[in-house]
Amino acid sequence: MLLNTYEAAATLTVGVDAFRNERQNVSGQARVMSSIAIVGANAINECAVDVYIESFFVGRFRNTHSGAVQVVHPDDDQRVGPHLVPAGSKISAIIAVAPTVSPLIIQVN
């Protein structure tokens, strides 16, 4: 797992980087991004997250399970790439459509 965040809906407003407080959003070594999982929020497909590697747009992803989900299952992985994340490059998850009530888990593998 490259990155993982669990955050309340109240702090995930449109335009906020969900990985802003994650120490591993930048690494001193090259990494490979292969999947993204987004679970939580109030309903399936309720929220959307735009994922970037620096200024490279990886894609827009929606939540696959709703509620205060505690575990990300393998079925929740949405395949991408593989995309190389060069050393020193930042991974961002910008909220495009905000969740309304329940917390959100965003995981990058």
- pLDDT, residue 19, reads 95
Query: Domain boundaries in the chain?
Result: 3-108
Q: Are 23 and 8 in contact (CB under 8 A)?
A: no
CATH class of 3-108: mainly beta
- Inter-CA distances, 9 with 12, 57, 68, 75, Å: 5, 23, 10, 23
Return the amino acid letter for 91: I
Q: Which helix (H) or strand (E) holds 95?
A: strand 91-97
Residue pLDDT, tens place only, 31-51: 999 999 999 888 899 999 999
Q: What are the residue ranges in the chain where pLDDT is below 70?
A: 68-70
- pLDDT, residue 69, reads 63
Closest CA to 90 of 9, 18, 10: 18
